[in-house]
């Protein structure tokens, strides 16, 4: 490789991290972002990006006329290393989007009517508080549920705790990483968290199972992998699709979808039977090795080959590759793991292999991340709710550690069988129409609610179902709580407004507080504005709001070492105090203590498996209307293999529709992309397109929505999250939605 092809950006932060790599160039383009131009005369304000949830810290530059000129990374920030991804750079489009929600609105007429009237904040907030009181008095405040995501969620979680409801759920857990956390909690006694503490920069080998880094554009990981590519990192990618990271890998394993468990068990078999595991580590830190050894004895690579479509030779070779690199090796735990319904157990298998390789707590494996704890602003204890999410969840899904969105939906149905019923929803910064599967069920639940309040910045699909819409200003126009995230070095970061809120929009903290005051909860909001809270918190840890406004990010000393010392005594948070290869906790809950292989349904004749994922230029459906990012990519394409294209007589860019096993068809057409990069049993449709809200004028009608087709779900038996990859589709060349013309 020619070195001059690489971009090199020397960070000013401690350690002088060099970011390089052809992949980074491919991913982020040519521009360098982290220098303040000498000629610049305006002001800069610290921010934390809200375009996705990697939470990069940056600077918003405002010119002399008060216009936002650009947003760039903060050099002292370990999430961004001074560089934002293209979506973060384009975040200003969220502020400039003329389709934004502009004023509070109340529905006129019955639920289902699409007519809204614009009202003052006073009227909207009075209406919401009054309705909440009526519902609270009749059904208990616990019957009001919060579905949320993002930074704004914190303000509403505080409001909910203040009035005594812990009935909540997030698609970013139940439809995303819930099973991953449960799996690592069962194995190591602690979850993974975000950012994932995988020590890629020091690793010799990293395995990505489904994680499609490079399309999944989580900034720090993309930079780490780019660095690795320049430093002989051996990458193994397991994906039915030749993903971006597969193209940078030493090994690509084009696995038959849904069979990953067979591969993982076979890897365990090779590591154990050929004695390639880290014996000292396993001896000192793990529990249940002998049981695991017996359990995987029959899961040979030859057996796995029959399930996965991978050769036994390739399965062995990749196991050797990992063992060779041990302990500087990690199977990345993934993030969106809600796949096939045995998700906790599949991620458990990943957690177990990492333990066999001795990689947890080891350089080049997983490091011990640390965060700065921030003192809580003084206020009384929250009231004790009569029931919480636990009472409607844990009876069946014993490994759930937080509320589950789809269970909140179930508890809201007219014929709900849950112990307690939900009567109202606050939907805050989550477009559940696109993010919770089985839309018909969600709609049925919504029709049964006494109140649906939506807090959003954009007229997304969910706002069309609301009784009241409360328009929040964007992240560039508001304060939020400090970011205190876990990383190699503990840091805190500040987001502050760079510009005044446009239109009649308000920050989330203000909306939550105003509702709180109307509910008589002054004692939980003993401050006038969030700046007071932030300044108080900062002063307790030796900083101040003034200081943070100047620096944006502040680092603190790490108190615990990054890695285990050789032979160090260490107690894990599991019941046995060891890494549980054999999970006593899962066993006690009635689940398999060790992961087992289970066949999942395969596409019936004539059908293809629908798989979905990310595209680099967008975050779910939240950015497709962003004018800057829409310019970069305005629609998705359906990836189809040449063989399937031939059978269906398809051409590149031909418009098609999809129909799933439940006879559901996509509203919009999508263009075909014929490529060898996808297996012939599947099609790939990037998520986030196919918006049906006509108020999103830039993106409306463009591309197709995978969420419309995810009507069949398999619930993860441990956490209750929804496995969504068991949907099968056929390709239609004629528009199924065309109205019949009757002459
Ligand atoms: N640009 C961008 N980046 C993002 C986001 C975004 O919206 N946009 N969202 C962020 C969020 S919240 C998340 S959770 C992550 C999600 O991203 P990841 O956790 O990295 O990936 P997944 O969505 O789980 O999986 C997508 C990949 O799985 C492959 N796949 C499908 N079926 C199978 C299978 O049976 N086995 C295997 N091994 N692979 C399979 C698909 O081909 C695809 O490449 O991305 C994050 N990063
Ligand atoms: N079919 C299908 N379903 C999926 C996935 C998939 O790939 N396919 N992915 C799953 C995953 S991994 C995740 S994490 C979830 C994510 O699902 P969501 O939580 O729904 O996704 P977000 O993009 O975070 O939330 C979108 C909403 O937040 C609003 N918003 C953006 N910024 C702000 C703000 O500052 N304030 C307020 N109040 N609102 C704001 C947007 O306008 C939009 O309505 O979806 C899951 N569901
Ligand atoms: S990864 Fe990109 S979109 Fe996500 S927070 Fe960082 S800069 Fe923003
Ligand atoms: Mo996610």
Rounded to the nearest angstrom, the distance between the alpha carbon of 626 and the centre of ligand 2 is 14
The residue whose CB lies within 8 Å of the most ligand 1 atoms, and thus the one to mutate among 173, 200, 212, is 212
Between 289-296 and 260-273, two packed helices, what is the crossing angle to 10 degrees?
A: 120
**pLDDT value of position 113:** 74
**Residues of the chain above pLDDT 70, percent:** 94
Ligand 3 atom 6, closest CA? 56
Q: State the burial class of residue 573 (Cβ atoms within 10 Å of its Cβ: 0-12, 13-18, 19+).
A: exposed
State which ligand 3 atom lies nearest to the alpha carbon of 218: 1
Q: How many CB atoms lie within 10 A of CB 283?
A: 9
Element of type H or E holding 284: helix 279-285
List, for residues 163-175, the tens digit of each pLDDT value.
Answer: 999 999 999 999 9
Which numbered ligand comes closest to the C-alpha of 71? 3
Is the CB of residue 170 less than 8 Å from the CB of residue 149?
yes
Is ligand 1 within 6 A of the CB of residue 45?
A: no
Least confident range from 40-44, 578-582, 662-666, 706-710: namely 40-44
The residue whose CB lies within 8 Å of the most ligand 3 atoms, and thus the one to mutate among 56, 70, 79, is 56
CA 29 to mean position of chain CA atoms: 24
Is the CB of residue 329 less than 8 Å from the CB of residue 365?
yes
Is the CB of residue 470 less than 8 Å from the CB of residue 124?
yes
| Cis peptide, bond prior to residue 195, ω within 30 of zero | yes
Given the candidates 3.40.50.720, 3.20.20.70, 2.60.120.260, 2.40.40.20, the CATH classification of the domain at 608-732 is: 2.40.40.20
Q: How many CB atoms lie within 10 A of CB 274?
A: 12
List, for residues 661-690, the tens digit of each pLDDT value.
Answer: 999 999 999 999 999 999 999 999 999 999
List, for residues 165-220, the tens digit of each pLDDT value.
Answer: 999 999 999 999 999 999 999 999 999 999 999 999 999 999 999 999 999 999 99
Strands 168-169 and 205-209: unpaired
Distances (CA, A) of 205 to 112, 235, 236, 260: 54, 6, 8, 19
Is the CB of residue 481 less than 8 Å from the CB of residue 714?
no
The residue whose CB lies within 8 Å of the most ligand 1 atoms, and thus the one to mutate among 195, 252, 614, is 614
Ligand 2 atom 41, closest CA? 622
- H helices of 375-493, where? 389-393, 405-411, 432-435, 439-447
Extract the tokens encoding 337. 């793991």
State which ligand 1 atom lies nearest to the alpha carbon of 335: 19
User: Which CATH architecture does the domain made up of 188-369 adopt?
Assistant: 3-Layer(aba) Sandwich (3.40)
Q: How many CB atoms lie within 10 A of CB 57?
A: 27
The residue whose CB lies within 8 Å of the most ligand 3 atoms, and thus the one to mutate among 29, 48, 51, is 51
Rounded to the nearest angstrom, the distance between the alpha carbon of 175 and the centre of ligand 4 is 7
Least confident range from 106-115, 450-459, 499-508: namely 106-115
**pLDDT value of position 467:** 97
Rounded to the nearest angstrom, the distance between the alpha carbon of 126 and the centre of ligand 1 is 42
Distances (CA, A) of 54 to 24, 65, 403, 481: 17, 31, 22, 15
List, for residues 373-423, the tens digit of each pLDDT value.
Answer: 999 999 999 999 999 999 999 999 999 999 999 999 999 999 999 999 999
- Look up tokens 């975050």; give the residue: 619
Which numbered ligand comes closest to the C-alpha of 54? 3
Rounded to the nearest angstrom, the distance between the alpha carbon of 150 and the centre of ligand 4 is 11
Region for residue 512 given its phi and psi (left: phi exceeds 0; alpha: psi -120 to 50; beta: otherwise): alpha
**pLDDT value of position 18:** 36
Residues with CB under 6 A from ligand 2: 50, 149-150, 152, 171-172, 175-176, 336, 428-431, 435, 455-458, 460, 472, 474-475, 612, 619-620, 622, 687, 706-707, 710, 724
The residue whose CB lies within 8 Å of the most ligand 2 atoms, and thus the one to mutate among 52, 155, 339, 430, is 430
Rounded to the nearest angstrom, the distance between the alpha carbon of 413 and the centre of ligand 3 is 36
Is ligand 1 within 6 A of the CB of residue 258?
A: yes
**What is the distance between the alpha carbons of residues 719 and 342, in angstroms, rounded to a whole number?**
10
| The pLDDT of residue 738 is above 90 | no
Q: Which residues contact 270 (CB under 8 A, 6 or more apart)?
A: 276, 301, 315, 316, 319, 320
State mean pLDDT over 734-739: 89
**pLDDT value of position 704:** 98
**pLDDT value of position 42:** 83
Rounded to the nearest angstrom, the distance between the alpha carbon of 196 and the centre of ligand 4 is 13
Residues with CB under 6 A from ligand 3: 49, 51-52, 54-56, 80, 84-85, 87-88, 217-219
Provide the mean pLDDT of the chain.
Answer: 94
| The pLDDT of residue 425 is above 60 | yes
List, for residues 13-67, the tens digit of each pLDDT value.
Answer: 322 333 445 556 656 765 445 545 556 778 999 999 999 999 999 999 999 999 9
**pLDDT value of position 3:** 25
Ligand 3 atom 4, closest CA? 52
State which ligand 3 atom lies nearest to the alpha carbon of 51: 3
List, for residues 231-272, the tens digit of each pLDDT value.
Answer: 999 999 999 999 999 999 999 999 999 999 999 999 999 999
Which numbered ligand comes closest to the C-alpha of 691? 2
Rounded to the nearest angstrom, the distance between the alpha carbon of 331 and the centre of ligand 2 is 27
| Sequence ranges of the domains in the chain | 188-369, 608-732
Distances (CA, A) of 76 to 38, 60, 579: 20, 15, 34
Kindly indicate the confidence band of residue 741, based on its pLDDT and cuts at 50, 70 and 90: low
Rounded to the nearest angstrom, the distance between the alpha carbon of 245 and the centre of ligand 4 is 18
Strands 655-660 and 728-732: antiparallel
Ligand 1 atom 29, closest CA? 210
Q: State the burial class of residue 312 (Cβ atoms within 10 Å of its Cβ: 0-12, 13-18, 19+).
A: middle
Which residues are registered as beta bridge partners of 657? 732
The residue whose CB lies within 8 Å of the most ligand 3 atoms, and thus the one to mutate among 49, 215, 487, is 49
**What is the distance between the alpha carbons of residues 26 and 419, in angstroms, rounded to a whole number?**
52
**pLDDT value of position 110:** 72
Could you tell me the end-to-end alpha-carbon distance of the chain, in angstroms, rounded to an integer? 66
- pTM equals 0.95
Between 260-273 and 301-308, two packed helices, what is the crossing angle to 10 degrees?
A: 170
Ligand 2 atom 27, closest CA? 430
State which ligand 2 atom lies nearest to the alpha carbon of 435: 47
Q: State the burial class of residue 122 (Cβ atoms within 10 Å of its Cβ: 0-12, 13-18, 19+).
A: exposed
Which numbered ligand comes closest to the C-alpha of 220? 3
């Amino acid at each position: 490789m020619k070195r001059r092809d690489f971009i090199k950006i020397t960070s000013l932060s401690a350690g002088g991290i060099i970011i390089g790599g052809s992949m980074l160039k491919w991913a982020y383009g040519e521009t360098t972002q982290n220098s303040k131009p000498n000629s610049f005369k305006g002001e800069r304000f610290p921010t934390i990006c809200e375009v996705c949830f990697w939470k990069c810290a940056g600077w918003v530059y405002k010119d002399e006329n008060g216009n936002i000129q650009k947003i760039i990374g903060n050099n002292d920030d370990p999430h961004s290393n001074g560089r934002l991804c293209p979506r973060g750079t384009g975040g200003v489009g969220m502020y400039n989007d003329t389709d934004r929600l502009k004023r509070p609105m109340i529905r006129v007429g019955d639920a289902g009517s699409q007519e809204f009237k614009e009202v003052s904040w006073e009227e909207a907030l009075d209406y919401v508080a009054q309705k909440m009181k009526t519902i609270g008095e009749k059904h208990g405040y616990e019957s009001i549920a919060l579905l949320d995501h993002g930074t704004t969620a914190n303000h509403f979680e505080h409001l909910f705790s203040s009035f005594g409801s812990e009935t909540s759920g997030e698609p970013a857990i139940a439809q995303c990483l819930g099973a991953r956390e449960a799996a690592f909690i069962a194995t190591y006694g602690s979850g993974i968290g975000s950012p994932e503490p995988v020590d890629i920069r020091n690793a010799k080998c990293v395995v990505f199972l489904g994680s499609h880094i490079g399309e999944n554009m989580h900034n720090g990981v993309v930079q780490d992998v780019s660095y690795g590519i320049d430093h002989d990192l051996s990458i193994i990618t397991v994906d039915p699709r030749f993903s971006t990271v597969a193209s940078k890998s030493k090994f690509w394993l084009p696995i038959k979808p849904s069979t990953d468990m067979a591969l993982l068990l076979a890897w365990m078999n090779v590591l154990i039977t050929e004695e390639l595991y880290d014996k000292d580590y396993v001896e000192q830190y793990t529990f249940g090795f002998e049981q695991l050894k017996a359990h995987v004895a029959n899961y040979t690579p030859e057996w796995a080959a029959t399930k996965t479509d991978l050769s036994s030779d390739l399965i062995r070779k990749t196991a050797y590759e990992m063992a060779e690199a041990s302990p500087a090796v990690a199977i990345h735990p993934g993030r969106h793991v809600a796949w096939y319904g045995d998700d906790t157990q599949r991620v458990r298998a990943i957690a177990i292999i990492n333990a066999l390789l001795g990689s947890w707590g080891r350089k080049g494996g997983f490091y011990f991340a640390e965060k700065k704890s921030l003192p809580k602003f003084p206020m009384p204890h929250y009231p004790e709710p009569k029931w919480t999410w636990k009472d409607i969840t844990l009876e069946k899904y014993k490994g759930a550690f937080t509320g589950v969105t789809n269970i909140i939906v179930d508890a809201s149905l007219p014929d709900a069988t849950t112990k307690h019923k939900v009567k109202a929803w606050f939907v805050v910064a989550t477009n559940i129409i696109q993010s919770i599967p089985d839309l018909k069920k969600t709609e049925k639940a919504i029709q049964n609610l006494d109140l649906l309040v939506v807090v959003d910045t954009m007229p997304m699909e969910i706002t069309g179902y609301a009784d009241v819409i409360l328009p929040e200003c964007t992240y560039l126009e508001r304060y939020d709580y400090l970011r205190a995230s876990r990383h190699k070095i503990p840091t805190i970061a500040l987001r502050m407004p760079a510009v005044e809120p446009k239109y009649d929009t308000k920050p989330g903290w203000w909306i939550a507080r105003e509702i709180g005051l109307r509910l008589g909860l002054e004692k939980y909001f003993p401050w006038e504005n969030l700046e007071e809270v932030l300044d108080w918190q900062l002063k307790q840890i030796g900083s101040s709001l003034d200081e943070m406004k100047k620096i944006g990010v502040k680092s603190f000393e790490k108190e615990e070492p990054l890695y285990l010392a050789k032979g160090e005594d260490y107690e894990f948070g599991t019941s046995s105090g060891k890494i549980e290869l054999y999970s006593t906790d899962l066993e006690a809950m009635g689940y398999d203590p060790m992961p087992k292989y289970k066949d999942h349904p395969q596409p019936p004749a004539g059908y293809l498996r629908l798989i979905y994922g990310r595209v680099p230029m967008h975050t779910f459906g939240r950015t497709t209307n962003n004018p800057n990012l829409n310019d970069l990519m305005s629609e998705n394409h359906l990836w189809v293999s040449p063989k399937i294209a031939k059978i269906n007589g398809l051409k590149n860019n031909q418009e098609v529709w999809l129909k799933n096993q439940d006879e559901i068809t996509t509203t919009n057409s999508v263009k075909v992309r014929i490529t060898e990069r996808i297996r012939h049993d599947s099609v790939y449709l990037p998520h986030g397109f196919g918006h049906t809200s006509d108020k999103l004028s830039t993106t409306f009608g463009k591309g197709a929505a995978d969420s419309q087709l995810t009507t069949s779900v398999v619930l993860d038996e441990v956490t209750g999250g929804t496995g969504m990859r068991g949907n099968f589709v056929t390709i239609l060349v004629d528009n199924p939605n065309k109205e019949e013309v009757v002459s």
